[in-house]
Structure 1
Amino acid sequence: MMNMPEVKLGIVAVSRDCFPITLSESRRKAVAAAYKGELYECPTVVESELDMQKALKEVQEAGCNALVVYLGNFGPETAETLLVKYFDGPCMVVAAAEEHGDNLVQGRGDAYCGMLNASYNLQLRNLKAYIPEYPVGTPEEVAEMIEEFVPVARAVVGLKNLKIITFGPRPQDFMACNAPIKQLFNLGVEIEENSELDLFEAFHKHDGDERIPAVVADMEKELGDGNNKPTILPKLAQYELTLLDWIEAHKGSRKYVAIAGKCWPAFQTQFGFVPCYVNSRLTGRGIPVSCEVDIYGALSEFIGTMVSNDAVTLLDINNTVPADMYESEIKGKYNYTLKDTFMGFHCGNTTTGKLTSCSMKYQLIMARSLPEEVTQGTLEGDIVPGDITFFRLQSTADGKLRAYVANGEVLPVATRSFGGIGIFAIPEMGRFYRHELIEKGYPHHGAVAFGHYGKALFEVFKYIGVTPDEIGYNHPKGDRYPTENPFA
């Protein structure tokens, strides 16, 4: 995957000066030995603010962009939290468990106690840090915690270096995808808003681009037998080159980019195609492109890409599964009620690698009111079955950050429909739909990561400032939503 940061982790051990410094040092070495990935061991053990400055310089010179602050013993609460403050990147704070019952005099570290003081001091200084669900463990357990920190760190680093490029305002009757952009700046995300006319001009500057045949050949290879609209490929290739060149020319000081583009109502008649397939190709490479100028949809896709290290998609929470279809193909085979299921759909923006098979077609909905020849460019197919996470980060109309996360799956059941589409199942989806999605005013677009990433996404949302009570999830049966009627 391109368009994402490489996490370069460092670990700094800290030690209270009235505890043996060797205890923190030896425990840090044991953690580094247990961790399977790349991890820079900072040689300085932090006992004081001066040590903190020295350690900070060492991890900076080593190129670390994420940091593990490791309490090998009780730890110096001021110095360790100042390390979090001055390190320019996501930090995890974690503590050592005691090792042996016969070594609880000189070998006792009391990091279990020190973790409380560390968390208190982080809050005093208004500092954010990733703290695992149970942040005290053996070297092997701490190594596992570090592995769980990596996707969270990647998302946080990526957001600090992200620019979202948009083209055009939201289409008429799609105000649901509109939201205040102030929270983007609060997250450290830059945004560049452009006119469709700017994009149209750039597209025509690529007329006859000598790179077009090579991109067409790559598209033909990717589509294989699904290449049902070969005559439209040169225009799609020209559009892809237009977007890629725009990214390079406009990302400025930022390292990573996502795009929120407009795809109707004038796009088809002026460009002569729909952009769905190109959107799918860029998203498949790690450059999310959302439909209908859905800025927070693009942001959500980017976060999902960082967390999963894989392609994502953006779908409408679209339609119910017909009862007869549920009875014949789902009931008794999968442990879901009819209301747990729905169809997730978009016209053709899901990358080929996430479809069971694919074919290039025209956009059926648009072709109901436009000539078919200007609606070509969708990528149709059923979405691959397997685990998924449905999620979204959103700014409310009054500028609050809000998010939801739900683990589920795509069922291996043929949809018998059109577009990029799948039959999704999320436990207690009916209640989640009513008391989270409807009640809190979410738009119809949801991001989809391919795998269960709810735990990591929840931590990312907390880290970037969404309060836990504003992170919705699908409550299990018996766990009532605040708005749920207890007598229903």
Structure 2
Amino acid sequence: MSSFQVAYIPIGVPTFHLESANDQFKKSVDMMQTLTNNGVYPEKPLLTIDDLKLFLKEINPDLIVLQNNTFANSAYASEVLRAFDCPILLWTLREPVIDGGRLRLNSLTGAYSAGNVMHHLGREKFEYIFGAPTEEKVIAKINATIRAAEVKKSLRFLNVAAVGQTPQGFGFGRALDAEVAKAFGANLESIEARELMLKAKTYKKEEYEDVLAEARTKMVGLDKLPEGNVDAFARLYKAYKEFIDSKNIKALASRCWPDYFVEYGTPVCAVLGMLNDINIAASCESDLFGAISMYIGVELSGGPTFFGDPVSLDEEDNTVTFWHCGTAACSLARKDTGSEMGVHPNRKIGPTMEFGCKPADEVTIFRVGRKPDGQFRFFISTGEALDVPKQFCGTSVVIKPDTNAAELVNKSVKDGWEPHFVVIYANVAEELETLAKLLDMEVCKY
């Protein structure tokens, strides 16, 4: 994948107050350089069409921050639109001084000119922000747009894997390679679960001792489980890692029950937990769109996400508990317990992860959902992860949303959302909303 590039393009004309324009230019560049190492900037504001054309020849952006450094007529924006079809954030500067004297910048009128021509050229889906480069809302918006554009580009180079088919009644997670490519730009790899089981059985002990040693450094109580199951887990983890490395996989949706219990004798849960711990987004029950949701969360937060079912509502505490059988990343475990190991709550075979997840002041509940017409939508809700112990056998996290929990549950059930959600350990709601717009997907905030 080529390096991500965000281009700052400050347009204007030389007939306004150049001292103010240059001051805003310098402050804008300084601010953006705190947000990204992948920015490209002109040496000065682009105050003629010729200067603009020269700068456009030097860049190859994945995102454009188009700023009216002063007023500029629509010809400036038209040049940018003809040169590139990447996402655009249009930025209007606040007038630096209102004192009854000269209009220093007239940036806002320039924004209207740019917005008008964008609509006429079919580029009406642009992002917009008004304000000075020192304002927190401006910094937050530009940062969110950069992060979202980075993820959009990374999705185009994502290899996501489907290991086996969805179980009966779990078709919501099934995906076609064509729709994954069309909607996200990603490439879908497929392999049958039995292929990885067979591969796992071929290893000699010395071939998987390294992954077993890795697991022992992260897992609490692994060696208390039957040796045969621990051995089978390590073999399977080795097989998954080799497959992932060979195909450069960054997200994976794996079949789990009944195959791994019946045919292999050991669950895949802990394998997926270990993969999540190294930021390979790994969902169970073959939920491909769950895996893509996890991948987006990993990219935006820089760490593992939690994947689970909403299993409990407490109206009095205003909380929703998310749970699954035991696939959470070891690093999400509470510090007082660590990533304890146990057996699957229904099948009584291990290893599976067995812990409550760590607390966090800010989390985001997220899901890429598919609508009946085949289009996609984003579920976005914010809250906090509470400091509470494990709620059920398996792994769990209790979320107190910023909105009413009962209303969240009632509305999301009636709106037809899938039963799997992702908890991202950061507030990335604005980044997700921007990403949805960049992907032309519906935003559903709860």
TM-score, normalised on structure 2?
0.86
Which residue is 2:41 aligned to? 41
Q: 5 Å matches for 1:51-200?
A: 51-60=51-60, 65-80=62-77, 82-83=79-80, 86-87=83-84, 89-101=86-98, 105=102, 108-127=104-123, 131-132=127-128, 134-139=129-134, 141=136, 142-178=138-174, 183-184=179-180, 185-200=182-197
Q: Does 1:432 align with 2:404?
A: no
Question: Deviations along 1:341-368, whole A, 9 cap, x unmatched?
Answer: 2321011111111111321111112x1x
Quote the Cα distance in structure 2 between the aligned partners of 1:52 and 1:150: 22
Amino acid at match of 2:24: R
Amino acid at match of 1:344: F
Equivalent position SS for 1:121: helix
Compare 376-385 and 77-86 and name the one that shifted more: 77-86
Question: Deviations along 1:92-125, whole A, 9 cap, x unmatched?
Answer: 22122222235953x6221112222323333333
Equivalent position SS for 1:42: coil
Quote the Cα distance in structure 1 between the aligned partners of 2:215 and 2:82: 47
Quote the Cα distance in structure 1 between the aligned partners of 2:309 and 2:81: 40
Quote the Cα distance in structure 2 between the aligned partners of 1:438 and 1:179: 22
Displacement of 1:242 in angstroms is: 2.3
Equivalent position SS for 2:224: coil
Which residue is 1:473 aligned to? 445
Quote the Cα distance in structure 2 between the aligned partners of 1:250 and 1:87: 31
Q: 5 Å matches for 1:57-456?
A: 57-60=57-60, 65-80=62-77, 82-83=79-80, 86-87=83-84, 89-101=86-98, 105=102, 108-127=104-123, 131-132=127-128, 134-139=129-134, 141=136, 142-178=138-174, 183-184=179-180, 185-204=182-201, 207-208=203-204, 210-225=206-221, 227-229=223-225, 231=227, 232-251=229-248, 257-321=250-314, 337-338=315-316, 340-356=318-334, 357-365=338-346, 367=347, 372=348, 375-386=349-360, 387-426=362-401, 427-435=403-411, 437-456=412-431
Question: Deviations along 1:348-403, whole A, 9 cap, x unmatched?
Answer: 111111111321111112x1xxxx4xx31211100112232111111223212122
Quote the Cα distance in structure 2 between the aligned partners of 1:390 and 1:137: 31
**Is the 1:96–1:139 contact (alpha carbons within 8 Å) kept by the matching residues of 2?**
no
Equivalent position SS for 1:59: coil
**Is the 1:46–1:80 contact (alpha carbons within 8 Å) kept by the matching residues of 2?**
no
Quote the Cα distance in structure 2 between the aligned partners of 1:197 and 1:57: 52
Distance of aligned partners of 1:282 and 1:24 in 2 relative to their CA distance in 1, 3 Å threshold: farther
Equivalent position SS for 1:147: helix
* Runs of 5+ unmatched residues, structure 2: none
Question: Deviations along 1:8-62, whole A, 9 cap, x unmatched?
Answer: 54322122476577765542222122342434323375456664553233233xx
Distance of aligned partners of 1:76 and 1:412 in 2 relative to their CA distance in 1, 3 Å threshold: same
Question: Deviations along 1:180-238, whole A, 9 cap, x unmatched?
Answer: 66542233222223332343344345x12754212211111111456533733443333
- Please give the root-mean-square deviation of Cα atoms over the aligned residues, in Å: 3.0
Equivalent position SS for 1:311: coil
Quote the Cα distance in structure 2 between the aligned partners of 1:81 and 1:311: 42
Distance of aligned partners of 1:81 and 1:383 in 2 relative to their CA distance in 1, 3 Å threshold: farther
Quote the Cα distance in structure 2 between the aligned partners of 1:159 and 1:18: 43
Displacement of 1:311 in angstroms is: 1.5
Amino acid at match of 2:327: N
Quote the Cα distance in structure 2 between the aligned partners of 1:383 and 1:193: 31
Percent same amino acid among aligned pairs? 19
Quote the Cα distance in structure 1 between the aligned partners of 2:132 and 2:76: 22
TM-score, normalised on structure 1?
0.79
Compare 23-32 and 280-289 and name the one that shifted more: 23-32
Equivalent position SS for 2:377: strand
Equivalent position SS for 2:290: helix
